[in-house]
Structure 1
């Protein structure tokens, strides 16, 4: 790991190649803003160190065909951890951005007691040990989580509070690896930027549909986090006169009509009224299992379940119309756990956008479903390590 961390331009090259198959020296040179001779020498050095490898020649464009380079597989790794209000999921990725081991999950309920932070550290530590990978090959741990996450201070003002000075400091002492944390929606945006629809777009809005409704904002190929890292709290825009109390304590927020909690709530109400559906008469107490059952019913075309999604989708489109007015986006991506039903989201969300937006502002906005699926936050968490790798001092665990 030292051979990467001791040279900032090596880190920049890793960033350029991360999540991509291959690039020529000319593109890498532009990316790190150094001359072609300098970049070529650096690339050759990293090939000798077995960090990069040659991938043959590019297709001819009339001149000399350039040599292509990529990151070598399974040499160095990053860890991605996705935390939500109910469960935590762990996985490990190589520097191509590929997930190399099956994910592991554990139910850890977020609270404000500090027990959840201890449980998180214990779970991640065990998972790392179980991989059998030497820690010297792991560049760091990226963790996405809901709430007001201050990435500079390494704390979460909403969850994982404890007597420890900060989340990052505690976890680094347990894991003996660099740890980086960020808001889950920002990381879903980062995932889309690095490996999804936003890769070749300058500006993208990524909607994180989950137990809340978050927003990842990509501006000029960078995640916009705001002054303290709190940008993207889409859930808590007050839009409805429903008198429902939101998780933030206020009433009528977007979250109260669009989250997966609402999907379960509406399903239970319908089942209690005896609606015709392929869903069981009683949904499981485990919310994740309940959502999976509803998603399965939607994908089978169950009219009741599809109707539930239609209701949520229209309300979500209403909320997105606010973003259309503010950002005039060219691309909006629906992502996160809730995006699993895929194309079933598109008609109601699109209708909600058109119904509540000024036509001229929305006419060129493209709506897409993320192809990263439920793994989007894991992908973003692993990519966070690469994004912040320059902050790590060789031989020193530091946030």
Structure 2
């Protein structure tokens, strides 16, 4: 135990036999968290006391479902470790967040880098020389907010990742909810609209076809074709970043078209989140992801629709808040997930 605990000396203001004080040694173990988005990624290294010793947020990385993209991801992580001040041997494990269907128990990702013959965790672990866990990005963000963010004692929480796509992460009785195989939270792929619009999942009329970053881009382009005006000019440099320009147009330019589109979307989001509220009756609903940057432009329409469409008793129980961690949520959640997994294994052994 001497590697994990520091003797802080004796209590000085105590009568009788003075008790000893001990503290966790913050340098005894480190945990790596990696959050991968479509056009960027973030990496952080925490010590056992939840303190970041190094972190890099939202730097450019294009996620593609190719061996080359996976190799680049591993190279970036290895460079981050090599450039840091922590001996790699002190890093107990890593957690990597990806979007889509993730089976954390078996280590498979079904949207990116899937192989029937070998879990993705084994492939990445061999590249990094570390134990690796996979986690769904939204679930990790939810856990980050629960452990170190906006959650203030609530034990039943719904976190909404409202970004390029839409998903939810659920905390029930203080624990992450996975479902049978870890595929829970695919709210964006609920078939709700008879609009004949093809979703990125291949189905027609999913929630994301009208409420998401990619649908916002389509709505913006269609509005321009109809003759509406905007100060915002979309570039073709990265399709996955175009919704950021529209969100920024609402926040920074007070662009009427951008505000109109995000307000309409957010009202719809509130309407369909009322279904989630009626089913789960949470204490707290957290709006995170790219659209959370909109503040009241998103929160007020969502709140109004929740009051209108959810049951009064259910709505009375829930608080609506914006993510407080922003880009840090996924990295913090990843660190917390792998930390608890490794400590649980250590204790059981």
Question: With structure 1 as the length reference, what TM-score do the two structures score?
Answer: 0.77
Distance in 2 (CA, whole Å) between partners of 1:324 and 1:377 is 23
Q: In the superposition, relative to structure 1, how do residues 393 and 358 fare at CA in structure 2: closer, same or farther (>3 Å)?
A: closer
Q: 1:351 corresponds to which residue?
A: 304
Which of 241, 248, 270 is the aligned partner of 1:296?
248
Distance in 1 (CA, whole Å) between partners of 2:109 and 2:71 is 14
Q: 2:147 corresponds to which residue?
A: 194
What is the CA-CA distance between 1:321 and the residue it aligns to? 1.0
Moved over 4 A (4+): 1-4, 66-75, 391-394
Q: 2:282 corresponds to which residue?
A: 329
What is the CA-CA distance between 1:375 and the residue it aligns to? 2.1
1:110 aligned onto 2:64: yes
Q: 1:370 corresponds to which residue?
A: 323
Which of 77, 92, 96 is the aligned partner of 2:30?
77
Q: 1:160 corresponds to which residue?
A: 113
Which of 246, 249, 273 is the aligned partner of 1:320?
273
Secondary structure, aligned partner of 1:208: strand
Distance in 2 (CA, whole Å) between partners of 1:78 and 1:185 is 19
Tell whether the 8 Å contact from 1:192 to 1:199 is kept in structure 2 after alignment. no
Tell whether the 8 Å contact from 1:178 to 1:392 is kept in structure 2 after alignment. no
1:315-338: per-residue Cα shift (whole Å, max 9, x none)? 211221110111111210011233
Matches within 5 A, 1:233-272: 233-272=186-225
What is the CA-CA distance between 1:287 and the residue it aligns to? 3.5
Tell whether the 8 Å contact from 1:258 to 1:315 is kept in structure 2 after alignment. yes
Distance in 2 (CA, whole Å) between partners of 1:151 and 1:254 is 25
Which of 272, 283, 286 is the aligned partner of 2:238?
286
Tell whether the 8 Å contact from 1:117 to 1:167 is kept in structure 2 after alignment. no
Distance in 2 (CA, whole Å) between partners of 1:272 and 1:98 is 50
Q: In the superposition, relative to structure 1, how do residues 188 and 72 fare at CA in structure 2: closer, same or farther (>3 Å)?
A: same
RMSD over aligned CA atoms reads 2.8
1:68-118: per-residue Cα shift (whole Å, max 9, x none)? 97655566422111112333332223333343334153423232x433322
Q: 1:119 corresponds to which residue?
A: 72
What is the CA-CA distance between 1:245 and the residue it aligns to? 1.2
1:176 aligned onto 2:129: yes
Question: With structure 2 as the length reference, what TM-score do the two structures score?
Answer: 0.87
Q: In the superposition, relative to structure 1, how do residues 266 and 142 fare at CA in structure 2: closer, same or farther (>3 Å)?
A: same
Tell whether the 8 Å contact from 2:44 to 2:52 is kept in structure 1 after alignment. yes
Distance in 1 (CA, whole Å) between partners of 2:228 and 2:119 is 49
Number of aligned residue pairs: 338
Which of 75, 89, 96 is the aligned partner of 1:136?
89
What is the CA-CA distance between 1:227 and the residue it aligns to? 1.0
Q: 1:18 corresponds to which residue?
A: none
Q: 1:47 corresponds to which residue?
A: 6
Distance in 2 (CA, whole Å) between partners of 1:79 and 1:185 is 17
What is the CA-CA distance between 1:3 and the residue it aligns to? 4.4
What is the CA-CA distance between 1:124 and the residue it aligns to? 1.2
1:387 aligned onto 2:333: no
Q: 1:92 corresponds to which residue?
A: 45
What is the CA-CA distance between 1:163 and the residue it aligns to? 7.0
Distance in 1 (CA, whole Å) between partners of 2:241 and 2:324 is 22
Distance in 2 (CA, whole Å) between partners of 1:271 and 1:68 is 67
Secondary structure, aligned partner of 1:340: helix
What is the CA-CA distance between 1:125 and the residue it aligns to? 1.4
What is the CA-CA distance between 1:285 and the residue it aligns to? 2.9
Q: Which structure 1 residue ranges, 5 or more long, are not aligned? A: 5-45, 58-65, 395-399
